[in-house]
Amino acid sequence: MFTLYYKPACPFCQRVLELSENLGVDLDLKDVSDDEVFAQELLEKGGKKQVPFLVDAEKEVSMYESNDIIEYIRENRPKNESASSAAKPRMHVSNAVCESCEG
């Protein structure tokens, strides 16, 4: 399971959250804007108060930067039937996949 330290108002965090939702990837979410304990964990694990910050405890990987996190989730998400069906991009009326849907 991936843990994501985030702030709801952060547009970079929202990109990561939307992608994980589109791909059906469950994240353990830690809102650092609401919880001082989570904010302190973020500082201890990453050394900065920057979000988003992803932790993959199984592989002992942690990273900042939404683009890097998105790439990591795509490459390392659980490979099962429900994840593959959820991985289909959203299609819009024009049949073009928009970048905001991460398709």
Confidence of residue 86 (pLDDT cuts 50, 70, 90): very low
pTM (two decimals): 0.76
What does the pLDDT look like over 39-81, one tens digit per residue? 999 999 999 999 999 999 999 999 999 999 999 999 998 876 4
3-class DSSP string for the chain: CEEEEECCCCHHHHHHHHHHHHHCCCEEEEECCCCHHHHHHHHHHHCCCCCCEEEECCCCEEEECHHHHHHHHHHHCCCCHHHHHHCCCCCCCCCCCCHHHCC
- Count: domains in the chain: 1
Per-residue pLDDT at 89 exceeds 70? no
In the chain, what is the greatest distance between 2 CA atoms, to the nearest angstrom?
46
Mean pLDDT for all residues in the chain: 84
Q: Could you tell me the CATH number of the domain that includes residue 47?
A: 3.40.30.10
Domain residues for the domain of 90 are: 2-101
How much is the average pLDDT of 28-32?
97
